[in-house]
Amino acid sequence: MNTWVNFQNRGVSWKTKPPRRLFLFAACVFVTLSGCGTTPPELPEAHPSAALSADADAYFYLSVTENMELLRDFTESGGSSTLGSRYFLEHSNAIYGAVSKSQGGAGFLIAASGDYSVGLVEFGIGTDDAWMDASVFLAEGEARYYRNMDTGMEIAIPSPRLILMGSGVAESLAWLHAGASSPLGDDICAALESHRAGFYLPKAAKTGLPPFIPAGSPLPLQEALLFVDPSAREGLYTASGELLFADNRNAAGAAVMLRLAFSGLMTQQGYSLAEIRQNLKLFVEARTILFSGLPFPRELARLVLFSLMMVEENR
Protein backbone atom coordinates (compact mmCIF):
# COMPACT_ATOMS: atom_id res chain seq x y z
CA MET A 1 0.00 0.00 0.00
CA ASN A 2 1.17 3.51 -0.71
CA THR A 3 2.82 4.89 2.42
CA TRP A 4 1.01 8.22 2.28
CA VAL A 5 -2.37 6.57 1.84
CA ASN A 6 -1.56 4.15 4.67
CA PHE A 7 -0.76 6.95 7.11
CA GLN A 8 -3.76 8.99 6.02
CA ASN A 9 -5.98 5.99 6.74
CA ARG A 10 -4.53 5.86 10.26
CA GLY A 11 -5.29 9.52 10.85
CA VAL A 12 -1.60 10.45 10.67
CA SER A 13 0.04 13.26 8.71
CA TRP A 14 3.69 14.23 8.32
CA LYS A 15 4.93 17.69 9.19
CA THR A 16 7.97 19.59 8.01
CA LYS A 17 11.18 18.55 9.79
CA PRO A 18 12.57 21.39 11.95
CA PRO A 19 16.10 22.53 11.14
CA ARG A 20 19.15 21.41 13.17
CA ARG A 21 19.81 23.49 16.28
CA LEU A 22 23.46 23.92 16.96
CA PHE A 23 23.72 26.56 19.67
CA LEU A 24 22.69 26.75 23.31
CA PHE A 25 20.58 29.84 22.68
CA ALA A 26 18.63 28.03 20.00
CA ALA A 27 18.19 25.08 22.37
CA CYS A 28 16.73 27.33 25.05
CA VAL A 29 14.35 28.90 22.56
CA PHE A 30 13.25 25.46 21.39
CA VAL A 31 12.57 24.17 24.89
CA THR A 32 10.75 27.38 25.82
CA LEU A 33 8.55 27.35 22.74
CA SER A 34 7.97 23.61 22.63
CA GLY A 35 4.72 24.09 24.51
CA CYS A 36 3.43 26.69 22.07
CA GLY A 37 1.10 26.01 19.18
CA THR A 38 -1.42 23.21 19.41
CA THR A 39 -1.74 22.02 22.98
CA PRO A 40 -1.63 18.20 23.09
CA PRO A 41 -4.55 16.52 24.84
CA GLU A 42 -3.96 15.55 28.46
CA LEU A 43 -3.18 11.87 28.87
CA PRO A 44 -5.67 10.01 31.09
CA GLU A 45 -4.25 8.16 34.08
CA ALA A 46 -3.42 4.62 33.01
CA HIS A 47 -1.03 1.80 33.74
CA PRO A 48 1.96 1.89 31.31
CA SER A 49 1.05 -1.54 29.95
CA ALA A 50 -2.25 -0.10 28.67
CA ALA A 51 -0.21 1.16 25.71
CA LEU A 52 0.62 -2.41 24.63
CA SER A 53 -1.20 -4.43 21.98
CA ALA A 54 -3.70 -6.98 23.23
CA ASP A 55 -2.52 -9.40 20.52
CA ALA A 56 1.22 -9.52 21.25
CA ASP A 57 3.17 -12.79 21.32
CA ALA A 58 5.18 -11.92 24.44
CA TYR A 59 5.17 -9.31 27.18
CA PHE A 60 7.93 -8.37 29.59
CA TYR A 61 8.48 -6.19 32.64
CA LEU A 62 11.78 -4.84 33.94
CA SER A 63 12.55 -2.77 37.00
CA VAL A 64 15.10 -0.33 35.57
CA THR A 65 16.82 0.56 38.82
CA GLU A 66 17.29 -3.10 39.74
CA ASN A 67 18.45 -4.15 36.25
CA MET A 68 20.55 -1.14 35.25
CA GLU A 69 23.72 -3.13 34.57
CA LEU A 70 21.90 -5.72 32.44
CA LEU A 71 20.04 -3.02 30.50
CA ARG A 72 23.23 -1.09 29.81
CA ASP A 73 24.81 -4.29 28.56
CA PHE A 74 21.73 -4.96 26.43
CA THR A 75 21.80 -1.52 24.76
CA GLU A 76 25.55 -1.74 24.12
CA SER A 77 25.28 -5.23 22.62
CA GLY A 78 22.41 -4.07 20.43
CA GLY A 79 24.38 -1.07 19.16
CA SER A 80 22.20 1.50 20.97
CA SER A 81 24.66 2.95 23.47
CA THR A 82 24.08 6.69 22.97
CA LEU A 83 23.52 9.76 25.09
CA GLY A 84 19.80 9.32 24.50
CA SER A 85 19.75 5.71 25.71
CA ARG A 86 21.71 6.68 28.83
CA TYR A 87 19.25 9.47 29.60
CA PHE A 88 16.37 7.06 29.11
CA LEU A 89 17.79 4.48 31.52
CA GLU A 90 18.75 7.04 34.16
CA HIS A 91 15.28 8.61 34.21
CA SER A 92 13.13 5.48 33.93
CA ASN A 93 11.67 3.46 36.78
CA ALA A 94 10.06 0.53 35.00
CA ILE A 95 9.71 -0.80 31.48
CA TYR A 96 6.80 -2.77 30.05
CA GLY A 97 7.17 -4.22 26.58
CA ALA A 98 5.33 -6.25 23.98
CA VAL A 99 6.75 -8.25 21.09
CA SER A 100 4.86 -9.48 18.04
CA LYS A 101 6.28 -11.64 15.29
CA SER A 102 4.23 -11.25 12.13
CA GLN A 103 4.40 -10.43 8.43
CA GLY A 104 7.92 -11.84 8.18
CA GLY A 105 9.39 -9.61 10.88
CA ALA A 106 9.32 -8.70 14.53
CA GLY A 107 7.62 -5.65 15.97
CA PHE A 108 7.98 -4.41 19.50
CA LEU A 109 6.76 -1.58 21.68
CA ILE A 110 8.18 -0.34 24.97
CA ALA A 111 6.18 1.71 27.46
CA ALA A 112 8.46 3.17 30.12
CA SER A 113 7.41 5.03 33.24
CA GLY A 114 9.68 7.55 34.90
CA ASP A 115 10.43 11.24 35.24
CA TYR A 116 11.27 12.81 31.88
CA SER A 117 11.75 16.29 30.48
CA VAL A 118 9.47 16.45 27.44
CA GLY A 119 11.27 19.52 26.07
CA LEU A 120 14.72 17.99 26.50
CA VAL A 121 13.75 14.69 24.86
CA GLU A 122 12.09 16.48 21.94
CA PHE A 123 15.12 18.73 21.54
CA GLY A 124 17.40 15.68 21.39
CA ILE A 125 15.19 14.15 18.71
CA GLY A 126 15.12 17.44 16.81
CA THR A 127 18.91 17.54 16.44
CA ASP A 128 18.92 14.32 14.42
CA ASP A 129 17.93 14.73 10.77
CA ALA A 130 16.71 11.11 10.60
CA TRP A 131 13.67 11.91 12.77
CA MET A 132 10.43 13.32 11.37
CA ASP A 133 7.45 14.32 13.44
CA ALA A 134 3.92 13.06 12.86
CA SER A 135 0.52 13.44 14.49
CA VAL A 136 -2.42 11.34 15.53
CA PHE A 137 -5.68 13.27 15.32
CA LEU A 138 -7.95 12.42 18.23
CA ALA A 139 -11.33 13.73 19.35
CA GLU A 140 -9.53 15.53 22.18
CA GLY A 141 -6.90 17.10 19.92
CA GLU A 142 -3.62 16.35 18.18
CA ALA A 143 -1.06 13.94 19.73
CA ARG A 144 2.48 14.16 18.37
CA TYR A 145 5.06 11.43 17.93
CA TYR A 146 8.30 10.95 15.97
CA ARG A 147 9.48 8.42 13.41
CA ASN A 148 13.06 7.60 12.41
CA MET A 149 13.17 7.46 8.63
CA ASP A 150 16.26 5.22 8.63
CA THR A 151 15.14 2.56 11.13
CA GLY A 152 11.35 2.94 11.33
CA MET A 153 11.59 3.38 15.10
CA GLU A 154 8.86 5.58 16.61
CA ILE A 155 8.94 7.61 19.83
CA ALA A 156 6.26 9.52 21.72
CA ILE A 157 6.41 11.45 24.99
CA PRO A 158 2.70 11.88 25.78
CA SER A 159 3.49 13.02 29.33
CA PRO A 160 6.50 13.65 31.60
CA ARG A 161 5.83 10.26 33.21
CA LEU A 162 5.65 8.08 30.09
CA ILE A 163 7.71 7.36 26.97
CA LEU A 164 6.63 5.04 24.14
CA MET A 165 9.21 3.54 21.78
CA GLY A 166 9.11 0.96 19.02
CA SER A 167 6.54 0.31 16.31
CA GLY A 168 2.82 1.05 16.41
CA VAL A 169 3.19 4.14 18.59
CA ALA A 170 0.32 5.92 16.81
CA GLU A 171 -2.08 3.12 17.75
CA SER A 172 -0.81 3.12 21.33
CA LEU A 173 -1.44 6.85 21.67
CA ALA A 174 -4.98 6.33 20.42
CA TRP A 175 -5.56 3.49 22.90
CA LEU A 176 -4.22 5.51 25.85
CA HIS A 177 -6.33 8.57 25.05
CA ALA A 178 -9.39 6.33 24.63
CA GLY A 179 -8.89 5.07 28.20
CA ALA A 180 -7.79 1.54 27.33
CA SER A 181 -6.99 -0.86 30.15
CA SER A 182 -3.95 -3.11 30.37
CA PRO A 183 -4.15 -6.23 28.16
CA LEU A 184 -2.35 -8.12 30.93
CA GLY A 185 -4.95 -7.51 33.62
CA ASP A 186 -4.37 -6.41 37.20
CA ASP A 187 -3.32 -9.84 38.51
CA ILE A 188 -0.52 -10.44 35.99
CA CYS A 189 0.73 -6.85 36.30
CA ALA A 190 0.89 -7.18 40.09
CA ALA A 191 2.66 -10.52 39.82
CA LEU A 192 5.26 -9.15 37.40
CA GLU A 193 5.91 -6.04 39.46
CA SER A 194 6.54 -8.09 42.61
CA HIS A 195 9.78 -9.36 41.00
CA ARG A 196 12.88 -7.78 39.53
CA ALA A 197 11.79 -8.83 36.04
CA GLY A 198 9.10 -10.95 34.47
CA PHE A 199 7.80 -12.34 31.20
CA TYR A 200 4.32 -13.36 30.14
CA LEU A 201 4.06 -15.54 27.03
CA PRO A 202 0.38 -15.92 26.06
CA LYS A 203 1.38 -17.65 22.81
CA ALA A 204 4.11 -19.90 24.16
CA ALA A 205 3.42 -22.51 21.47
CA LYS A 206 4.68 -19.90 18.99
CA THR A 207 7.48 -18.26 20.99
CA GLY A 208 8.71 -21.30 22.92
CA LEU A 209 10.54 -21.01 26.22
CA PRO A 210 14.14 -20.20 25.34
CA PRO A 211 16.56 -21.81 25.84
CA PHE A 212 14.69 -24.92 27.09
CA ILE A 213 11.75 -25.19 24.70
CA PRO A 214 12.44 -23.81 21.20
CA ALA A 215 9.85 -21.92 19.18
CA GLY A 216 7.66 -24.30 17.21
CA SER A 217 8.43 -27.23 19.52
CA PRO A 218 5.95 -30.14 19.33
CA LEU A 219 5.68 -29.92 23.12
CA PRO A 220 2.23 -28.33 23.60
CA LEU A 221 3.21 -25.46 25.90
CA GLN A 222 0.39 -22.92 25.75
CA GLU A 223 1.22 -20.12 28.21
CA ALA A 224 4.14 -19.19 30.43
CA LEU A 225 4.58 -16.72 33.28
CA LEU A 226 8.22 -16.29 34.32
CA PHE A 227 9.87 -14.28 37.09
CA VAL A 228 13.50 -13.29 37.64
CA ASP A 229 15.08 -12.27 40.95
CA PRO A 230 18.59 -11.99 42.43
CA SER A 231 20.31 -15.19 43.53
CA ALA A 232 22.17 -15.69 46.78
CA ARG A 233 25.22 -16.56 44.67
CA GLU A 234 27.24 -13.72 43.15
CA GLY A 235 26.61 -13.12 39.45
CA LEU A 236 23.54 -15.35 39.25
CA TYR A 237 19.80 -14.79 38.92
CA THR A 238 17.00 -17.07 40.09
CA ALA A 239 14.00 -17.95 37.91
CA SER A 240 10.55 -19.14 38.91
CA GLY A 241 7.29 -19.43 37.08
CA GLU A 242 4.19 -21.22 35.86
CA LEU A 243 3.93 -23.17 32.61
CA LEU A 244 0.53 -24.13 31.20
CA PHE A 245 0.27 -27.14 28.87
CA ALA A 246 -2.51 -28.54 26.69
CA ASP A 247 -3.43 -31.30 29.13
CA ASN A 248 -2.32 -33.11 32.30
CA ARG A 249 -0.40 -35.84 30.44
CA ASN A 250 1.71 -33.36 28.50
CA ALA A 251 2.42 -31.37 31.65
CA ALA A 252 3.64 -34.51 33.45
CA GLY A 253 5.89 -35.49 30.53
CA ALA A 254 7.32 -31.98 30.21
CA ALA A 255 8.05 -31.90 33.95
CA VAL A 256 10.45 -34.83 33.60
CA MET A 257 12.26 -33.20 30.69
CA LEU A 258 12.47 -29.80 32.36
CA ARG A 259 13.73 -31.23 35.64
CA LEU A 260 16.61 -32.85 33.77
CA ALA A 261 17.34 -29.64 31.82
CA PHE A 262 17.19 -27.45 34.94
CA SER A 263 19.38 -29.87 36.91
CA GLY A 264 21.94 -29.88 34.10
CA LEU A 265 22.06 -26.08 34.11
CA MET A 266 22.59 -26.03 37.87
CA THR A 267 25.35 -28.62 37.60
CA GLN A 268 27.13 -26.32 35.16
CA GLN A 269 26.94 -23.55 37.78
CA GLY A 270 28.72 -25.74 40.32
CA TYR A 271 25.74 -26.96 42.33
CA SER A 272 26.00 -30.40 43.88
CA LEU A 273 23.21 -32.96 43.64
CA ALA A 274 22.26 -32.24 47.24
CA GLU A 275 22.10 -28.50 46.55
CA ILE A 276 19.97 -29.08 43.47
CA ARG A 277 17.50 -31.14 45.48
CA GLN A 278 17.42 -28.48 48.18
CA ASN A 279 16.98 -25.43 45.93
CA LEU A 280 15.13 -26.52 42.80
CA LYS A 281 11.39 -26.96 43.30
CA LEU A 282 9.29 -28.31 40.43
CA PHE A 283 5.88 -29.92 40.65
CA VAL A 284 2.76 -30.42 38.57
CA GLU A 285 -0.78 -29.26 39.31
CA ALA A 286 -3.14 -30.66 36.66
CA ARG A 287 -1.82 -29.18 33.40
CA THR A 288 0.39 -26.54 35.02
CA ILE A 289 4.07 -26.88 35.98
CA LEU A 290 5.21 -24.64 38.81
CA PHE A 291 8.92 -24.20 39.48
CA SER A 292 11.27 -22.04 41.55
CA GLY A 293 14.89 -21.85 42.64
CA LEU A 294 16.43 -22.15 39.17
CA PRO A 295 19.73 -20.21 39.09
CA PHE A 296 21.24 -19.01 35.83
CA PRO A 297 24.16 -16.73 34.89
CA ARG A 298 23.94 -13.18 33.65
CA GLU A 299 25.08 -14.20 30.17
CA LEU A 300 22.13 -16.55 29.83
CA ALA A 301 19.80 -13.80 31.08
CA ARG A 302 21.08 -11.49 28.35
CA LEU A 303 20.66 -14.15 25.65
CA VAL A 304 17.12 -14.96 26.80
CA LEU A 305 16.25 -11.26 26.77
CA PHE A 306 17.54 -10.93 23.21
CA SER A 307 15.68 -14.08 22.17
CA LEU A 308 12.35 -13.04 23.67
CA MET A 309 12.63 -9.58 22.15
CA MET A 310 13.71 -11.20 18.86
CA VAL A 311 16.58 -8.74 18.45
CA GLU A 312 19.74 -9.65 16.57
CA GLU A 313 22.87 -9.10 18.63
CA ASN A 314 25.69 -7.07 17.10
CA ARG A 315 29.02 -8.88 17.33
The pTM for the full model equals: 0.79
| Final residue belonging to a domain, choices 177, 208, 243 | 177
Residue 248 shares a structural domain with residue 151: no
53: pLDDT strictly greater than 50 = yes
Integer Cα distance of 221 and 246 in angstroms: 7
HEC string for the chain: CCHHHHHHHCCEEECCCCCCCCCHHHHHHHHHHCCCCCCCCCCCCCCHHHHCCCCCCEEEEEECHHHHHHHHHHHHHCCCCCHHHHHHHHHEEEEEEEEEEECCEEEEEEEEEECCCHHHHHHHHHCCCCEEEEEEEECCEEEEEEEECCCCCEEEEEECCEEEEECCHHHHHHHHHCCCCCCCHHHHHHHHHCCCEEEEECCHHHHCECCCECCCCCCCEEEEEEEEEECCCCCEEEEEEEEEECCHHHHHHHHHHHHHHHHHHHHHCCCCHHHHHHHCEEEEECCEEEEEEEEEEHHHHHHHHHHHHCCCCCC
Q: What is the mean pLDDT of residues 297-315?
A: 59
Residue 32 shares a structural domain with residue 108: yes
- Domain assignment of residue 184, yes or no: no
The pLDDT tens digits of the residues spanning 155-168 come to: 999 989 999 999 88
35-39, 170-174, 276-280: the lowest-pLDDT one:
35-39
Residue 33 shares a structural domain with residue 98: yes
Residue 25 shares a structural domain with residue 121: yes
Integer Cα distance of 43 and 175 in angstroms: 11
Confidence of residue 11 (pLDDT cuts 50, 70, 90): very low
Full residue range of the structural domain in which residue 268 is found? 195-309
Residue 134 shares a structural domain with residue 167: yes
- Domain assignment of residue 160, yes or no: yes
Residue 256 shares a structural domain with residue 282: yes
The pLDDT tens digits of the residues spanning 214-234 come to: 777 777 899 999 999 988 777
301: pLDDT strictly greater than 60 = yes
pLDDT of residue 30: 36
Tell me the percentage of the chain whose pLDDT exceeds 90: 37
Q: Are 155 and 116 in contact (CB under 8 A)?
A: no
Which distant-in-sequence residues (6+ apart) come within 8 Å of 24 by Cβ? none
- Domain assignment of residue 65, yes or no: no
**The pairing of beta strand 154-159 with beta strand 236-245:** unpaired
- Domain assignment of residue 76, yes or no: no
Confidence of residue 102 (pLDDT cuts 50, 70, 90): low
- Residue 245: exposure state from Cβ atoms within 10 A (0-12, 13-18, ≥19): buried
Residue 203 shares a structural domain with residue 304: yes
Residue 152 shares a structural domain with residue 284: no
Q: What is the mean pLDDT of residues 112-136?
A: 87
Number of domains in the chain: 2
Residue 201 shares a structural domain with residue 285: yes
pLDDT of residue 39: 58
Integer Cα distance of 98 and 60 in angstroms: 7
Residue 203 shares a structural domain with residue 297: yes
For the stretch 176-179, contacts whose Cβ atoms lie closer than 8 Å and that sit 24 or more positions apart, written own/partner, are 176/43, 176/44, 176/46, 176/50, 176/51, 177/41, 177/43, 177/44, 177/138, 177/140, 177/143, 179/44, 179/46
Question: How many Cβ atoms are within 10 Å of 271's Cβ, its own excluded?
Answer: 18
265-269, 273-277, 311-315: the lowest-pLDDT one:
311-315
- Domain assignment of residue 28, yes or no: yes
- Domain assignment of residue 146, yes or no: yes
| Final residue belonging to a domain, choices 177, 203, 219 | 177
For the chain, the average pLDDT equals 79
- Domain assignment of residue 61, yes or no: no
- Domain assignment of residue 126, yes or no: yes
Residue 172 shares a structural domain with residue 246: no
| Final residue belonging to a domain, choices 146, 177, 208 | 177
Residue 34 shares a structural domain with residue 122: yes
The pLDDT tens digits of the residues spanning 133-158 come to: 888 888 777 888 999 998 888 999 99
36: pLDDT strictly greater than 60 = no
For residue 23, the Cα-to-chain-centroid distance in whole angstroms is 35
